[in-house]
Amino acid sequence: MADTKILTPVAAHGAARLPSVVVDSYNVELKDDEGFLGDRASKTAFVEIIDNWRKALRKAGDDPFGDTPTDELGKKQLDEFLTKGDPEAAGLVHGAVEEFAQELALVIRRFLKLKAWAGTERIVIGGGFRASRIGELAIGRASVILKADKIKTELVPIRNDPDEAGLLGAGHLAPAWMFKAHDAILAVDIGGSNIRAGVIDLNLKKKTDLSKSCVWKYELWRHAEEGDIKRENAIDNLVGMLERLIDKAHREKFKLAPFIGIGCPGMIEPDGSIDRGGQNLPGGNWESSRFNLPARLHEAIPRIGDDDTAIVLHNDAVVQGLSEAPFMQDVDHWAVLTIGTGLGNARFTNRNGE
């Protein structure tokens, strides 16, 4: 279990009450007769839609994508089909975008019926799928569908690259006063395919609300490409990434705060354990009562500079959504959906300086 030394009084793991927002809900798992509703608006679902269109065309004797397996068609390649090349391939992608947008609009309607989501004024769409033209078109089309149904909730693409947003939100996990004497913090985004760690330049001298923060350096490990790895090997690799980033920051005279903010799939308990939702993480049972990620990292990196390391863990969709907090001050209630391997979700209420 967790070493109590890692539990900092300034922020709790998986907290509902954060410095700038209240997290009304996250990691909601909606179900219908066919299973988890979020699975209908995921990157995997989009690939299945493309594949179904291709199967229908093959029966007619023609597949504009040839022999390339659907899951090997990258976002850039699909984006190119929309703008140049074979018109039938472009038509197939357009059809898939339309079908996916209908599913996304359906899922959003269901979320908006939840008590915790009542009054949601704006939904930010993030995740890897958003980082493509096809993703942007699907978001735009879903927005049009909802407006036609007189649903006033606004849909907007996340403003930062989703990979960077998953790191930038870490700065909002702890009060800004913690960082006043520092230039930067460490942030980690753990996913089912990749682990990303970075140094966040807070730029507090330009804006105290972290709206000018940016990713200074980062490391990416695509663990899914390495086959079967053990959980402890994954943690060791993450520790190595963080140690290299600490060294780079020190050599560049960056004043690193003794803080690591982490986004990770699943429901996060106050002691930093993962209650459920971590089944796609690499190398073993991250939900085990004998494993605690913040404790493991604190053991490996007990100090940053001259001070004890404070570590705060929260759900990855929450952290990605928090990157938008400085830009959501014109509404009271807003949310994030992250379209990746699955559909991450979180709903927020601004604290407005309370």
pLDDT band at residue 9, thresholds of 50, 70 and 90? very low
Regarding predicted confidence, which is higher, 6 or 227? 227
Neighbouring C-beta atoms of residue 303, cutoff 10 Å: 10
Regarding predicted confidence, which is higher, 82 or 32? 82
- Given a cut of 90, whether residue 2 has pLDDT beyond it is no
pLDDT band at residue 67, thresholds of 50, 70 and 90? confident
Q: Which helix (H) or strand (E) holds 164?
A: helix 162-168
Q: Report pLDDT for 8.
A: 45
- Given a cut of 60, whether residue 329 has pLDDT beyond it is yes
What six digits make up the tokens of 234? 């994954």
Query: What pLDDT, in 10s, does the model give residues 144-163?
Result: 999 999 999 999 999 999 98
Mean pLDDT value of segment 253-282: 88
Q: What share of the chain in percent tops pLDDT 70? A: 96
Q: Report pLDDT for 33.
A: 66
pLDDT band at residue 3, thresholds of 50, 70 and 90? very low
Alpha helices by DSSP H, 113-218:
133-148, 162-168
Q: Report pLDDT for 35.
A: 66
Mean pLDDT value of segment 326-345: 93
Q: How many residues does the chain have?
A: 354
| Domain annotation for the chain: domains and CATH numbers | 4-12+161-325 (3.30.420.40), 31-157 (no CATH)
Q: Report pLDDT for 201.
A: 96
Regarding predicted confidence, which is higher, 330 or 178? 330
Residue 198's SS3 state is: strand
Q: Report pLDDT for 63.
A: 85
Residue 189's SS3 state is: strand
Q: Which amino acid is at 326?
A: P
- Given a cut of 60, whether residue 4 has pLDDT beyond it is no
Q: What are phi and psi of 301, to 5 degrees?
A: -130, 75
Lowest-pLDDT range, 40-54, 97-111, 158-172, 281-295? 281-295
Q: What are phi and psi of 122, to 5 degrees?
A: -150, 140
Q: Report pLDDT for 151.
A: 95
| R_g over Cα of the chain | 21
Mean pLDDT value of segment 160-185: 92
Query: What pLDDT, in 10s, does the model give residues 115-139?
Result: 999 999 999 999 988 888 999 999 9
Q: Report pLDDT for 317.
A: 96
| Distance in angstroms (rounded) separating the CA atoms of residues 141 and 187 | 33
Q: Report pLDDT for 32.
A: 73
Residue 118's SS3 state is: coil
- Given a cut of 90, whether residue 259 has pLDDT beyond it is yes
Q: Report pLDDT for 147.
A: 96
Tell me the range of 87-101, 188-202, 324-338 where mean pLDDT is highest: 324-338
Q: Report pLDDT for 236.
A: 92
Burial per residue of 30-54, b for 16 or more beta-carbon CB atoms within 10 angstroms, e otherwise: beeeeeebbbbbbbbbbbbbbbebb
| Distance in angstroms (rounded) separating the CA atoms of residues 251 and 240 | 17
Regarding predicted confidence, which is higher, 294 or 277? 294
pLDDT band at residue 25, thresholds of 50, 70 and 90? very high
Q: Report pLDDT for 5.
A: 43
